Amino acid sequence: MVTAVMPTYARKDVVFERGEGSYLFATDGRRYVDFTSGIAVNNLGHCHPQLVRTLQDQAAKLWHTSNLFRVGNGEKLAERLVANSFADTMFFCNSGAEAIEGGIKLIRKYQYVTGNPKRYKLICFQAAFHGRLLNALAATGNEKYLEGFGPPAAGYLHAPLNNTNVVRDMVDDETAGILVEPIQGEGGVREANASFLRDLRSICDEFGLLLFYDEIHTGFGRTGKLWSYEHSGVAPDVMAIAKGMGNGVPIGAFMATEKAAQGMVPGTHGSTYGGNPLVTAVANSVLDVMLAPGFFDGVRERAAYLRPKLDKLVKDHPSVLAEARGTGFLLGLRCHVPAGDMVLKLQELGMVVPIAGENVVRVFPPITTPVAVLDEGIAIIDAACRDFESATVKAKENA
């Protein structure tokens, strides 16, 4: 019999009932080190006291009014995000995939209102992930995810990452823009080089295309800066954000320059919930924490502490781990053992991590994780590796 919750996920058999900072507590009484952060969502950890206070205060005041009226918390949030990014304007939605879809609409509309109605295609990248709605899915391009859902939405091409010539050759008179994750998450923590992003910027400028970043998992401090594009210094025209934005309350947005957003006039897009008083109160609180002087210095210091530890794990366990990847707290360990087995082993030992493509285990602690808890996590990964090694030795002895 089907489960009441539709079984579209192969879920791990654990139910968490409480979270505190970088720890999760399950109904089985066990405590887990959280190196998942709800897949780059709980960047400030669980139940951050400042966020809890904000949520409780706002919950007692006002939750939702619809977008028929001005939303004070949303206006404040947008002004702050605009002041702290390349963008001039933004639209609030409820998830990452919605942010992608909104950005796609904005790009097509821009081309339409600037006299290029034929331009609607986006150049995307192999192993990308942009979400599960029908256009976001076509932009993702993963055959397995697309199978059985009818013809994929038209207008999404896929180039290999970090290959400028292929992208340049794909541009034709129907191309509207380029959609790229500065660091692919699901794809296996694969980075777009700064020089490649510069090339994409110049291709866009040369051919009148818009550059669209998917910073849904790279944003909100995951890489040690508010936005990951700050590392390369190459700004986009359009950007989708979500995950870390509300630290767990569902909120996303697409942001754009005034020029790129010129077609988005009244009536062109909408969302009933998008940016309601409750979620934007929490997102403002997230920014209060992140924009406090010195916050990202601390994040980068702790990330700089963590990274060499991962490299050392790879060096110490060459038969189990192949490589450490990533930037800031957006890290991954490519495994020689099946990554799914590693995830299960880590869970057994008291740690939760997400998996990614290319046999990678993602290492996504909350960006606020204290050094002592990072050490605890490293010790668990070390123990898991030793378990795999001794299992191999035993198998050899038995052979």
Ligand X SMILES: *Cc1c(COP(=O)(O)O)cnc(C)c1O
**Site residues, ligand X (CB under 6 A):** 95-97, 100, 129-131, 181, 185, 214, 216-217, 242-243
Q: How far apart are CA 197 and CA 181, in angstroms?
A: 10
Closer residue to ligand X, CB minimum distance, 78 or 241: 241
Q: Give least dist CB 1 to ligand X, A.
A: 28
Closer residue to ligand X, CB minimum distance, 131 or 141: 131
Q: How far apart are CA 394 and CA 385, in angstroms?
A: 14
Q: Give least dist CB 385 to ligand X, A.
A: 27
Instruction: Label the pairing between strands 175-180 and 210-214.
Output: parallel
Q: How far apart are CA 67 and CA 65, in angstroms?
A: 7
Using the 8-state DSSP alphabet, how is residue 29 labeled? S
Q: Give least dist CB 143 to ligand X, A.
A: 18
Closer residue to ligand X, CB minimum distance, 286 or 337: 286
Q: How far is CA 395 from CA 290, 383, 388, 390, 399, in A?
A: 49, 18, 11, 9, 6
Q: Give least dist CB 392 to ligand X, A.
A: 34
Residue 359: φ, ψ to 5° = 55, 45
Closer residue to ligand X, CB minimum distance, 101 or 385: 101
Q: Which residues pair with 183 in a beta bridge?
A: 191
Return the exposure string of 226-241: e unless at least 16 CB atoms fall within 10 Å of the residue's CB, then b: bbbbbbbebbbbbbbb
Q: How far apart are CA 329 and CA 306, in angstroms?
A: 8
In a 3-state reduction of DSSP, which class is residue 288? helix
Q: Which residue is nearest to ligand X (CB)?
A: 96
Q: Give least dist CB 354 to ligand X, A.
A: 10
Q: Give least dist CB 223 to ligand X, A.
A: 13
Closer residue to ligand X, CB minimum distance, 124 or 320: 124
Closer residue to ligand X, CB minimum distance, 216 or 374: 216
